[in-house]
Amino acid sequence: DTAVSQTPKYLVTQMGNDKSIKCEQNLGHDTMYWYKQDSKKFLKIMFSYNNKELIINETVPNRFSPKSPDKAHLNLHINSLELGDSAVYFCASSQGEGFGEQFFGPGTRLTVL
Amino acid sequence: DQQVKQNSPSLSVQEGRISILNCDYTNSMFDYFLWYKKYPAEGPTFLISISSIKDKNEDGRFTVFLNKSAKHLSLHIVPSQPGDSAVYFCAAISNNAGNMLTFGGGTRLMVKP
């Protein structure tokens, strides 16, 4: 009965590959997010998405793209992976567009070799 | 350019004593502030929040204080328990940036028995 789940938990891949991380929430929330925690442990927002709009943090390279097949899923696609993409990626969800509490998934540790 | 800063990377406190975690911000557009707690290999979990129209919010052992003029907030945990040992992240939201959280760098709290 996990609220926000992510797969895989660990992902090791070579530079230049394309990979995806899946996120699912069973809370009925209408807004989902992706965050990146870098090697210095800073958590930074990458995307916010609901059925009305996608908000992109301007610092995110366009190699990263979120895809939402339905309201409960927001997958993260990464093209042409680079060494600097190695990080822990967290998915989160919340209800509404106001200042709602966000529920986070357990994270996916991506290592690019 | 960190808009939310937690200047103490770590804090050690004796069980039963008060833990005070501090957070400073620079963006005067922030309207809402949250504290998240994170255990290793897990996603952040929401702890407590405060609106910019308030200066204090209390929930059990946890109290958050906001000083808008100083752009400073703090989280008080009393009494501290060993299970409180975790990394605590301060986060902020501005109403013109969707519901995207801007996180501080985190403070590792260690509560010694």
Q: What is the pLDDT of residues B17-73, one digit of tens each?
A: 999 999 999 999 998 999 999 999 899 999 999 999 999 999 999 999 999 999 999
Separation of alpha carbons A28 and A95, rounded Å:
8
Return the number of other C-beta atoms located less than 10 Å from residue B5's C-beta. Answer: 14
User: Could you tell me what percent of chain A has a pLDDT over 70?
Assistant: 96
As a whole number, mean pLDDT of residues A54-78 equals: 90
Token match 């899923």: residue? A73
pLDDT of residue A57: 82
How many helices and strands in chain A, by DSSP H and E? 0, 11
In chain A, the residue whose alpha carbon lies closest to the alpha carbon of B34 is: A101
- Beta strands A103-104 and A108-112 are unpaired
Would you call A55 and B42 a contact, using CB atoms and an 8 Å cutoff? no
* Residues in Cβ contact with B70 at an 8 Å cutoff, skipping those fewer than 6 apart: none
Q: Which residue, A84, A83, A26, A43, is CA-closest to B35?
A: A43
What DSSP character marks residue B99? B
pLDDT of residue A1: 64
At residue A54 the predicted structure's pLDDT band, cuts being 50, 70 and 90, is: confident
Phi-psi region of A41 (alpha: psi -120 to 50; beta: other; left: phi over 0): left
pLDDT of residue A96: 73
Report chain B residues whose CB lies below 8 A from the CB of A96.
99
Q: Is B97 in the A-facing interface, judged by CB distances under 8 Å?
A: yes
Collect all residues from A whose CB is shorter than 8 A from any CB in B: 4, 31, 33, 35, 40-45, 48, 55, 57, 90, 92, 94, 96-107
Would you call B46 and A90 a contact, using CB atoms and an 8 Å cutoff? no
In chain A, the residue whose alpha carbon lies closest to the alpha carbon of B91 is: A43
